[in-house]
Structure 1
Amino acid sequence: MERLILNKLLNWKNSPYRKPLILKGVRQVGKTWILKEFGKRYYDNIAYFNFDENEEYKQFFETTKDVNRILQNLILASDQKILPEKTLIIFDEVQDCPKVINSMKYFCENAPEYHVACAGSLLGITLSKPSSFPVGKVNFMQIDPMTFTEFLLANGDKNLAVFLDQVDTIEPIADAFFNPLCEKLKMYYITGGMPEPVLMWTEAKDVAAMQASLSDIIGSYERDFAKHPDIKEFPKISLIWKSLPSQLAKENKKFIYKVVKEGARAREYEDALQWLVDARLVHKIYRSSAPKLPIAAYDDLSAFKIYLVDVGILRRLSQLAPTIFSEGNRLFSEFKGALTENYVLQSLIPQFDVMPRYWSQSNPPYEVDFLIQHENDIFPVEVKSEANISSKSIKKFKELFPDQVKLRIRFSLENLKLDGDMLNIPLFMADKTDKLIDIALKQQKLYNRD
């Protein structure tokens, strides 16, 4: 499979400021595969050390901080070759190895000629703990589920992926591309972006194997819940996890603890929810009171929405059968567009440095699905999964904050177009949003100049 993060990894390899790398991402998202593939393509060889399979390797980091001694011990124990600049050293499953993580400081300071990359399944949990950590001595990189563009490449639709990459003006897309892209997007809703289910579908077109793979991934996540250091949190994490389809199916998708369990209170469940956030299994999106910078200063910490890491995981967790694919556009609008909102957020997060927010007011009720920060501007985003694309909330938002809104963005099944300050992006172009915003702003300037 072609993963676009390979370009980022190559930039890391060639950077004069390169430090040891920590690659973060949920279980089964492809961290190990991508590091090995990167090593095969761009290094003479790979030296791979898995601290879950070979726990004895941990002792080499416990007895010394001398990088040369550590490497000598690893070479002798594993019979692998390690050469400066030419070998990619991969330390895998390091989440339970604080000494290994801490050693990155010494690799950075005393042996920068060695290229080291670390990965682990619950690194977000590990890194959130106050422990000895090499602050400023590592580079971080996040690997997310496969984007729709990556899905197209895996599915053999390179022509469609190339077409999307080459769009450089805001104008309607010809039906010859538009209609197949809508069909492929429905496939992506079914499989999601986790590499193994995508592989099961794209290589063998085996729906049963794809379903089983998604179930296995969900099972592995649920087994991880027991790794919370406080065993009393385990059932709470499970209850929150199982409530997510119901939370997202509600008209107002603000997270409600009573949906988790009757009588549940925030203080009883907030630690369990934070564990899921730190594990990156869910995304927490805060309500913003105004589109101003810094965006975090306007967060309402008591109001937030929760989305899953992947739309395919959400579909499987919601027990929606793949046969829904054949029922027109029902897949896009199922349980009040929850799949579509989750897909759009999943597409936006890797493109922007700042986590999106949402905006709402209660009297009268209005809600804008997302606010995204692009450079120093904040743009309201509305997600429309049905034929009706009237945008009362986003119109109200513009009335309330006229000076802050350069462009309004709507995702829908309508074609690509710029109507005044309203940019309509077809859902299948969600992972091109950053680029499309730049194109739309340039077109706006040209239009206003004329």
Structure 2
Amino acid sequence: MFFERNILSQLQVWTARPKPKPLLLKGARQVGKTSLLKWYGQTHYSKTAYFNFDRQPDLKQFFELTKDPLRIIQNLSLVVGFPIEPKNTLIIFDEIQECKEALNSLKYFEENQEPFHVVGAGSLLGVTLGNFASFPVGKVEFLELFPLTFLEFLTQKDPEMSNYLNSIQLVEPIPDYFFNRILESFRLYMISGGMPEPAKELVESADLSRVETLLENINLAYELDFSKHVPSKDIQKISYIWNSIPSQLAKENKKFLYQVVKPGARAREYEDALTWLIQAGLVYKVNRVNKVGIPLSAYQDLAIFKIYFLDLGLLRSKARLAPNAIIHPTALFSEFKGALAENYVLQSLISQFGELPSYWTSNGKAEVDFLIQVQNSIFPVEVKSGENTRSRSLTVYDEENRPELKLRFSMKNLIHQDHLLNIPLFMADRTRDLVDMMLKK
């Protein structure tokens, strides 16, 4: 089973160019980069030439001995056993961060007259690029692959309901039959999260114990990466931060506190460790703003922020929250249920709007979960994990800033009233479309 990813349309645009620049596909480990590129090569090219610098370290010598793309291609053709042809062959350099010379060679492929279609991928590309002084700026394109969205998951779990959600063009309540059917799939998605392997297991077998094992293994693989790729002085600090995130999100205001990481910890001691996690794509940092203005990024307080996981399934697993808490929620689960809902909405917003939102506070009186900027408009976003949607914070924000539109995610139906758009949590992936519908009115 293959999950059809939204990024495919962007890959097709890249392929269609007369001479596409080399492409770097970023994304955390296990989000599906390799399987996506291999499938794309098989379905859109005559041949696929796949190379993995982690598993085939001897390949590095080809890039150390020459900078000539034609000589490199000649050598690589001998490795795969067939001629690598311009346009007709997709060349995949996997784990490219393991070979700095291969990264540097991308600029020579871009300058070469032959239109070779080259894609580099790697799970720690963000870390590598952040510390790579000779990176070929302007010579490559970038795409980023995130965990599966709920709509991508639903395409396999319930194609009929996926088509229905994608077809909605009016802001009006969803019939109860459809609402409840989609909600059932959404609860399953909250168990597996967006990592393709656990999600595939859940769709194919519904084996929850196997899903739990797969999620635990991914979290463990990330922790093993700490010791393999991180400077020794930061390994333990990264582990402390990583392990503290469920506790950080369980707090009422969810603001990241170094004292939660370790008693007596100070920001300057842990900043490098936190930066590594961010560059690796394992966590998202959402900064606070207490004054709203355009551009939103100019008003961020970089010293006050929240930290979220890259995926709600991994967060649930890391927090040791059993799947039945999702299926049969209790009052004891209410606080962390909100954290999972926020993490999910954040993932969805990032994949649609292409940048991190901020969050807003007002002198201790109110706090809005997220702010998103759409062109020259700023919209407040409130996340509710259930049907109780009372929110004093949105009221305070409205009084102080008078936004054109307020967004609230909850388990209530789709409705627009008094400049407030209530979006069912399972429709978070349609946020951009829904906002555009409202702005056109």
TM-score bracket for this pair, using the shorter chain length: over 0.9
Distance change (3 Å), C-alpha of 1:24 and 1:329: farther
Query: In 1, are the aligned partners of 2:252 and 2:335 still within 8 Å (CA)?
Result: no
C-alpha separation between the residues in 1 aligned to 2:74 and 2:219? Answer: 39
For 1:117-128, list aligned pairs within 5 A.
117-128=119-130
- SS of the aligned residue for 2:369 comes to strand
Q: 1:438 aligns with which of 426, 433, 436?
A: 436
C-alpha separation between the residues in 2 aligned to 1:373 and 1:330? Answer: 34
Instruction: Say yes or no: does 1:184 pair with 2:185.
Output: yes
- SS of the aligned residue for 2:142 comes to strand
Question: How many residues end up aligned between the 2 structures?
Answer: 439
Aligned to 2:20: 18
Query: In 1, are the aligned partners of 2:19 and 2:115 still within 8 Å (CA)?
Result: no
Aligned to 2:375: 375
C-alpha separation between the residues in 2 aligned to 1:195 and 1:331? Answer: 30
* Pairwise CA distance, 1:354: 2.8
Aligned to 2:278: 277
Q: 1:82 aligns with which of 78, 84, 99?
A: 84
Query: In 2, are the aligned partners of 1:67 and 1:107 still within 8 Å (CA)?
Result: yes
Aligned to 1:151: 153
For 1:108-257, list aligned pairs within 5 A.
108-155=110-157, 157-257=158-258
- SS of the aligned residue for 1:95 comes to helix
- SS of the aligned residue for 2:371 comes to strand
Deviation sequence 1:336-385 (CA, Å, 0-9, x none): 5110000010111010133100001234x210000011122111000011
Say which is worse superposed, 385-394 or 292-301, in terms of deviation: 385-394
Letter aligned with residue 188 of structure 2: M
Instruction: Say yes or no: does 1:8 pair with 2:10.
Output: yes
Query: In 2, are the aligned partners of 1:247 and 1:255 still within 8 Å (CA)?
Result: yes
Say which is worse superposed, 291-300 or 21-30, in terms of deviation: 291-300
* Pairwise CA distance, 1:323: 1.6
- SS of the aligned residue for 1:301 comes to strand
Query: In 1, are the aligned partners of 2:361 and 2:368 still within 8 Å (CA)?
Result: yes
Query: In 2, are the aligned partners of 1:19 and 1:112 still within 8 Å (CA)?
Result: no
- SS of the aligned residue for 1:276 comes to helix
Which residues of structure 1 form unaligned runs of 5+?
444-450
Query: In 2, are the aligned partners of 1:333 and 1:340 still within 8 Å (CA)?
Result: no
Distance change (3 Å), C-alpha of 1:149 and 1:437: same
C-alpha separation between the residues in 1 aligned to 2:256 and 2:246? Answer: 11
C-alpha separation between the residues in 1 aligned to 2:355 and 2:440? Answer: 23
Structure-2-length-normalised TM-score:
0.97
- SS of the aligned residue for 1:286 comes to strand
Query: In 2, are the aligned partners of 1:332 and 1:386 still within 8 Å (CA)?
Result: no
Distance change (3 Å), C-alpha of 1:336 and 1:164: closer
* Pairwise CA distance, 1:228: 4.2
Query: In 2, are the aligned partners of 1:255 and 1:305 still within 8 Å (CA)?
Result: yes
Structure-1-length-normalised TM-score:
0.95
* Pairwise CA distance, 1:331: 10
Instruction: Say yes or no: does 1:394 pair with 2:394.
Output: yes
Query: In 1, are the aligned partners of 2:311 and 2:343 still within 8 Å (CA)?
Result: yes
Say which is worse superposed, 72-81 or 410-419, in terms of deviation: 72-81
C-alpha separation between the residues in 2 aligned to 1:100 and 1:329? Answer: 52
Aligned to 2:42: 40
C-alpha separation between the residues in 2 aligned to 1:66 and 1:331? Answer: 63
Aligned to 2:339: 338
Query: In 2, are the aligned partners of 1:287 and 1:358 still within 8 Å (CA)?
Result: yes
* Pairwise CA distance, 1:388: 2.0
C-alpha separation between the residues in 2 aligned to 1:430 and 1:332? Answer: 22
- SS of the aligned residue for 2:97 comes to coil
Say which is worse superposed, 128-137 or 421-430, in terms of deviation: 128-137
Q: 1:417 aligns with which of 390, 415, 418?
A: 415
C-alpha separation between the residues in 1 aligned to 2:347 and 2:147? Answer: 8
Deviation sequence 1:279-306 (CA, Å, 0-9, x none): 0100000011323212211010110000
Distance change (3 Å), C-alpha of 1:90 and 1:111: farther
For 1:254-265, list aligned pairs within 5 A.
254-265=255-266
Distance change (3 Å), C-alpha of 1:191 and 1:121: same
Over 6 Å off, 4+ runs: 329-332
C-alpha separation between the residues in 1 aligned to 2:108 and 2:88? Answer: 19
C-alpha separation between the residues in 1 aligned to 2:278 and 2:395? Answer: 32
